[in-house]
Amino acid sequence: MTTNETPEDGVVKEPQKPEELKKIIVGADPQKSDPLTAKLLELGVPDDMIGKIKDLGAEKLEDLVFLTEKQLESIGMKPIPASKLLLAIKPVEVNEAKAKIDPTAELAEGEEPSKAQVAGFASVLGADPMSLMLLMSGQGNDMDLSGMIPIVNMVNGYNPKRRDLYLMVMGQVERRLGVPIVVIDGNGSVNRPLTIEYIEGLEEGREAAENNIYFDGKGEPHEVIRVGVDAQSVYDADPLMPTKALQKSGMGTGRVNWSGVSLEVRQVAYYAATKTKEIDPSNDAHQAWLRDHMKSGTNRLVFHGQAPRAIGEFNEAARTGSLPTLRVMLARNARRPEFMPRRRRTSPGDLTGIGGNRDDNL
């Protein structure tokens, strides 16, 4: 047998001809320029066998993981070459009995889950192990996950305060989709039904939420944030200084207390301070006016005399669905370690006041 002949076992042992490789590189032969063909050629599969594998329905690189030895033998590949090919293209299979894991166990920062952990988690999640492994390895970006990974189970197990396997899978889904995917309520908690609905819509090809504001069935706006961000780190913004959060009491710039003031009133104040400039946050008179008028139960018409153009801005934004949520995120790392000073034993000398004599207490 010469080096240019194809062995009977169906796998090429020798490198491809330079002329054939050149065709693939320059794209002279479109049939050999796709990733699936390139991968099979890399593994030494001859052209005629590649065509037969495609006849089985393999169209993309990730389709290879669904091939079986019986299918390969049915198209003329001998058992040993078929087994070698399957070993080369399929991830390592893990005994599920040995892969029992706690999916909520914390993973250290920078730590990536092993193949055994991913395979074990797939059985917990009710997902296809091969599809989950492809996703976690960054492959299969054009797969439709809706039929392979139960989105409901994934979202219901997600906790932004914990870096576990649920969070890791959610993160991979977000990177694949290219947009934030976690929908939150006004109090900062994760709205799981809307998050599931939003992810399923993105998987179906729907447009991402404009300005990361997702509207529910009643037309109420909900903010969409990134995976891993603690939703409880999102707070009400100061309408006069929207990059800053209000104090817990509702107090903001100029000692204006916004506690109990409706969102629409705060939105008009935001437009008056940032767009129409009818209110100057540093003006003492304007601050006094706001302190007198920003009360619970006040509606936006209170600005009719002070900031009429801001009301117009509000009406236009309401018409186009682009009203600001007036929420601000103070911390993006939800898992920042918190340290408390170690308590030490107190002696009477430590209780001495200013000007006291420590010896008096001994």
In a domain? residue 1: no
SS3 label, residue 159? coil
pLDDT at 153: 85
Top-ranked range on mean pLDDT: pick from 229-233, 277-281, 341-345: 277-281
Residues 202 and 123 in one domain: yes
Residues 208 and 280 in one domain: no
Residues 135 and 197 in one domain: yes
Task: Write down which residue in 89, 105, 130 finishes a domain.
Answer: 89
Task: Write down which residue in 229, 264, 299 finishes a domain.
Answer: 229
| Contact (Cβ atoms closer than 8 angstroms) between residue 100 and residue 90 | no
Residues 120 and 221 in one domain: yes
The residue whose two tokens read 């430590």 is 350
| Contact (Cβ atoms closer than 8 angstroms) between residue 240 and residue 269 | yes
Residues 277 and 193 in one domain: no
Distance of CA 255 to the CA centre of its chain: 37
Q: Are strands 327-329 and 234-238 parallel, antiparallel or unpaired?
A: antiparallel
Residues 267 and 168 in one domain: no
pLDDT at residue 237 tops 70: yes
pLDDT at 98: 42
Res. 346 pLDDT band, cuts 50 70 90: very low
In a domain? residue 189: yes
| Contact (Cβ atoms closer than 8 angstroms) between residue 224 and residue 214 | yes
Distance of CA 222 to the CA centre of its chain: 16
Considering its fold, how many domains does the chain have in total? 3
Residues 283 and 217 in one domain: no
On the CB side of 291, how many CA atoms lie within 13 Å of its CA? 13
In a domain? residue 298: yes
Mean pLDDT of the chain: 76
In a domain? residue 109: no
Which class for 127: exposed (0-12), middle (13-18), buried (19 or more C-beta within 10 A)? buried
In a domain? residue 346: no
In a domain? residue 94: no
User: Which residues have a Cβ under 8 Å from the Cβ of 343 and sit 6 or more positions away?
Assistant: none
pLDDT, tens digit, 9 for 90 and up, residues 293-317: 999 889 999 999 899 999 999 999 9
pLDDT at residue 235 tops 70: yes
In a domain? residue 104: no
- Domain boundaries, position 125: 115-229
Res. 345 pLDDT band, cuts 50 70 90: very low
pTM, to two decimals? 0.42
pLDDT, tens digit, 9 for 90 and up, residues 9-43: 554 445 555 445 444 444 445 445 677 788 788 78
Residues 208 and 250 in one domain: no
Within 10 Å of residue 273's Cβ, how many Cβ atoms?
23
In a domain? residue 180: yes
